Amino acid sequence: MLTPKRLHLCALVLAISAAVSAQTVAANVPDAPPSTKNPVALPPQTQPDTDQLIIRFRDNASPVVVDKALSRLRTEKSEKFAYAKTTPDKADVFRFEKRKKKADWDKLSTWLKQLPEVEYVEPDYILNRMAVPAPVVPNDPYLNYQWSLLDAISGIHADQAWGYTAGRGSVVAIVDTGVLPHVDLLPNLLAGYDMIADTVTGNDGNGRDSDATDAGDYVLAGECGSTTTINSSWHGTHVAGTIAAAGNNAEGVAGVAYAAKALPVRVLGKCGGYTSDIAAGVIWAAGGTVSGAPVNPNPARVINLSLGGASACGSTMQNAINTARGKNAVVVVAAGNSNTDASQFSPANCAGVVTVAATGKNGGRAYYSNYGNVVDLAAPGGSMNTGATDGIVSTLNTGTQTALADTYKYYQGTSMATPHVSGVVALMLSANPALTPDQVESLLKSSVRTFPQPCASCGTGLLDAAAAVQAAVNFTAPVDPYAVLLSDLKKNRDLWRAQNLLNYTYVLEQKTGTSAALRLKLTVKAGVLTAGMNLATNKALSSRDLKAKGKTVEQLFTQVETAISSRYTTVKTTYDTAFGYPLDSFLDKSTSVTGDDVSLKASSLTKL
């Protein structure tokens, strides 16, 4: 009878074979590849400039106040300009005597924004059509055998993406068997971590440590339920090469993100790897805390999981993915190689991951690839049933058990498709580091190409590196209107507090739903309500009514801020340009509910 531990190991043997079983089909790279083209340099980007400035004055700013502000701009900042036009949203455009660079406009805009009558100000930049960078082809000798990168029909158009970026600044974690110090990986290889706790699985004589080198995952006959000897796969080294093999080094292959850094996290060894170790590796890779392990000094924004097994997504794995996403990491996962529905395999079926199916040399679904509703998109994984060189060529080692010499070989599998996507994500984040995991996934899925051959239930389409990177470059996050409202409130509250008005009277008119408006004259001393009068009856408010119905200006700010923070359906507020206090506010919690709206109007504020 097998022990529970051995049952777990056997299950993970199946898990690894589900994602990478096709790794046993390998072919050598030809010895004498043809030469590649010389690289094309991308012209430097220039900052836009303009001679016009857009200024939006607040609706309650009088012509006198506006003229005074413009006069100050001329006298205090020595600017010469003239009115040009008004925009549809009632902002004024002014043409200046000469063009300015962005840095000069920033200084002037900062000065204007401190004026209370200014709602916003921005340069009226002169824009042009978006130029497409020329393709870049590095000088790596085996690049011509990397059809998955360059083929016009079934490749990912990597050369066009490299016109934008080669991935510099991105860190990609390869959570796998570990990585060997291959000559084509060393320029981009970071120090990682060995997260395998069990010494038998680790096959390196110790438990967790800071050496993520692949010790070999070979299996002898009789081990892990195998009846034959299985050679070491060097799987993580192959995956790492697809992502980040050095480019333009006149050596071997080029990674999809050949200027990105590869962070090896060893979680798979002899007979596979435990879910608990894999989950810990995901957390550590993203910069999370793992007991007993040092803090990762190079947190990854991309985590590649070319692994999986036939099971539901458990809490341990899902929690690890959630932690990684909370640290802004994109988790990319292989769909599996069982030619069945990927929803039966974890972590492909976990929430919040990018699940990748594989296509063959013709661009259609590879014969082994899983599919289904959990698949987000597909990428080249190879199809060596139609020829050895129709696989994916990458970095490897000649050793059958322990490592010997560097080499390059063809593999196939969704394990090979997944690093293509991880590499493209590295390019996207290099081009636009502000992207969130959800935004990356959305742009990946919306920038795909149509499959040139059938690939049913393979997600939205075939990975297109050039389109994805261009989408990342052009992406502008939608402005949160509540953030704008909160910023406006804080600016005006700071203006109010700068007056240090603690003693004053003012009139507050408040109305809730369809009830009659209540007009109160309120007295505030030392910042505290001390008296109030109902202007409809000319009667003084009782202390109870004063507390229930009266408000200081600070309390008006608080009520508006609460509505913003609670994201009421409607929040409209105008502020006094001189003192900053809320003049007129309309707060409606839900338009579908009658009578929950509140109107607040402040007037006749007088210092005491």
Residue 301 has which token pair? 């924004």
- State whether residue 340 is helix, strand or coil: coil
Q: Convert the pLDDT of each residue in 332-345 to its tens digit.
A: 999 999 999 999 99
Cβ atoms of 9 and 16 closer than 8 Å: no
pLDDT at 453: 97
Q: What does the H/E/C string look like for 506-524?
A: EEEEEEECCCCCEEEEEEE
- DSSP letters, 249-303, are SSSS---TTTTSEEEEEE--BTTB--HHHHHHHHHHHTT---TTS---SS--SEE
Q: Please tell me the distance from the alpha carbon of residue 141 to that of residue 37, in angstroms, as a whole number.
A: 10
- Catalytically annotated residues: 176, 235, 415
Amino acid at the residue 158? A
Q: Convert the pLDDT of each residue in 307-322 to its tens digit.
A: 999 999 999 999 999 9
* Sheet strands (E) in 324-466: 330-334, 345-346, 354-359, 377-380, 392-397, 406-411
Length of the chain: 608
pLDDT at 473: 94
- State whether residue 304 is helix, strand or coil: strand
Residue 6 has which token pair? 């051995």
pLDDT at 27: 55
- DSSP letters, 428-456, are HHHH-TT--HHHHHHHHHHSPBPPSS--T
pLDDT at 492: 95
pLDDT at 595: 79
Residue 219 has which token pair? 């299996």
Q: Please tell me the distance from the alpha carbon of residue 382 to that of residue 394, in angstroms, as a whole number.
A: 12
Cβ atoms of 121 and 87 closer than 8 Å: no
- State whether residue 138 is helix, strand or coil: coil
The label of the residue with tokens 């297109």 reads: 464
Going by the DSSP 8-state scheme, the letter that residue 158 receives in this structure is H
Strand 354-359 and strand 330-334: pairing? parallel
The total of other beta-carbon atoms located within 10 Å of residue 346's CB is: 25
Q: Which stretches in the chain have pLDDT values below 50? A: 1-25, 30-46
383 burial level (CB within 10 Å; 0-12, 13-18, 19+):
buried
CB neighbour list of residue 601: distance below 8 Å, 6 or more residues apart: 508, 509, 510, 583, 584, 585
Residue 387 has which token pair? 């020829």
Q: What does the H/E/C string look like for 42-105?
A: CCCCCCCCEEEEEEEECCCCCHHHHHHHHHHHHHHCCCCEEEEEECCCCCEEEEEEEEECHHHH
- Domains belonging to the chain, first-starting first, are 4-31+139-474 (3.40.50.200), 50-123 (3.30.70.260), 481-607 (no CATH)
Alpha-carbon distance values, 11 to 5, 200, 352 (Å): 10, 16, 24
